[in-house]
Structure formats: structure tokens, C-alpha cells
Amino acid sequence: MKQQNGIYNFSMNIITFTSDFGTKDPYIGIWKGIILSQSSAINIIDISHDIAPANFMETAYVVNSCYHHYPKGTVHLVSVEEKDANSIRYLAMKKDGHFFIAPDNGILTLIRPEYRAEAIHEINIDARESLQPGMQIMSKAAVYLSDDGVISVLGKPCVDPKDIKPRKPFYNETQNILQGHIIFIDRRGNVVTNIDEETFYTAKKERPFSINLPARIRIDKITKSFREINEEAVTFALFNHNGLLEIGVYGGSLLNFTGATHLLGLSLQDKITIEFS
């Protein structure tokens, strides 16, 4: 219960959780137990634990898709690729009014890179005697921040976080082509590229276009929404809720369990070429 302007608000602190742990092993359950043993007034929200191991592009896409739907001040716990938990640094970042806690492996630089971080601090919590030091360090920091904690208390400012540069679409004016890459594949086999709507229409102008896919498949129309598609096995391209170009086969997951990835011959990190004429 918190008081603001003389009014008491009953609220539960929120921590979201994203990892590459999967759901078979006990690690998620252990981690949640560590958090709840520190404070029972916390609502832990699972974003996804089916991230491919150490896949930073996939992790960033999932977190960037979700975090801003939560209230400002929410703490987002992101754990991928912890190779040596005894030597790695753990960081807390404030960006866009939200807190993000992750190992210093570069993932934080992929969280809304177009926004400037308000603060990044090393987490100075000693957990060397713990069997799972990463869990202890990140959990304690998350609980502290979720209860209106001050990020600077966690440790000194981090001036050199590991940096990963996200891939960006490239427009070749000489050849009149726009190239991007597949950064995410959803459960239905639809693929999401890093080509955003503004980049596409800036390159397109008023010209016809063709999205060139394997097996000589071409798409020359942008569908505004799935409501426009009323026929099974139709190949489509649209700009999804993140404003990114998504390509798929309508009903493809019913035709084949891998959907568009199998039917169109597409895989993660494949290059997507759009030709203008």
C-alpha cells in the first residue's frame, strides 16, 4: 500500500521474467522462490522462457514487444547466456521509465537502442558463497527496485557495458533494393524482419515492389491486417504491432507444423531482399 497525494493505492510490485531456461528444468521455479522469499508482495509475470539459448536478437524482440505495456517503474528481469556466473558482471538499467536487470553480455544495449538509458549501474551484491550467484544477485536487485528502490544504491555507474550493435536494414540506391534480416520466428512459423515501416516506405516512394523469397516466391502487396486474408495457404507480408515487416503463410501452421519457415524455406538470420522498380 502506497500513499500519493493523500490517497492510498493498493498495488502489487511487478517483476517480469524472460530467459532461455526453457520450462522443463527447475531453474525458473528456484528463481521465483528466491524472489518470493524476499517479498510476498510481488507479482512475477513470465514473458517467455522459450528463447533459444543465447539468442540475443530473439530476446530483444520479445522484451521490446512487451515491456512498454506494463506500468512505468516495472522491473524486467532478463537472463540469457550466463556462461560463468562467478566472473560476469550484472547490471541494472533504467530506460523509458522502466528498470531492466541482466548479465553484462550486451543484451541491455539491444533494449530499445533508439532510447538513451537514464542510468546504468553495476550491481554490487555479494553472492560468491551461493550455488547460483546470478540468481541471488539479480533477484535481490529486482526486489529492491520493485519497491521504489533507488538504482544508484545498487552500485557504481557502469561506463562500459558490453555493446552489441543491432543489425539494421540497408537500402542500395544503385540497385534499387532494400535488404534486411529475419530476427524472430513465431510459433506459427511466421518470420519477423528488422525492416521497419518507415524505412520501407521511404525507399519505396510510389514505386511497385517485390519481396523476393526462396523457390521464386514473390510478394508484391502489403496486407494491412489478417482480416484481409480469407484464403488458406496465401503468402502474406504485413507490418506487425511493432511496425516491423512480417512474412508468413496464412494457415501455414495447420498445413505444416513449421509453417512459413518450412513452406517458404526461411530461417532465422536469413536475408530478405525487396526490389523496387
Looking at residue 212, the DSSP 8-state letter turns out to be E
Whole-number pLDDT of residue 7: 42
Give the tens place of pLDDT for each residue, 90-137: 999 999 999 999 999 999 999 999 999 999 999 999 877 676 788 899
C-alpha cell, 181: 534480416
CB atoms within 10 A of CB 109: 19
Domains detected in the chain: 2-154 (3.40.50.10790), 170-276 (2.40.30.90)
User: CA triplet 264, 270, 274: central angle to 5 degrees?
Assistant: 75
- Alpha helix segments (H runs only) across 50-153: 56-66, 133-146
| Confidence band, pLDDT 50/70/90 cuts, at residue 8 | very low
The residues facing 235 across adjacent strands are 249
Helix (H) or strand (E) holding 121: strand 119-122
Whole-number pLDDT of residue 60: 96
Give the tens place of pLDDT for each residue, 137-178: 999 999 999 999 999 999 999 999 999 998 899 999 999 999
Whole-number pLDDT of residue 252: 52
| Nearest residue to 187 via CA among 40, 15, 62, 38 | 62
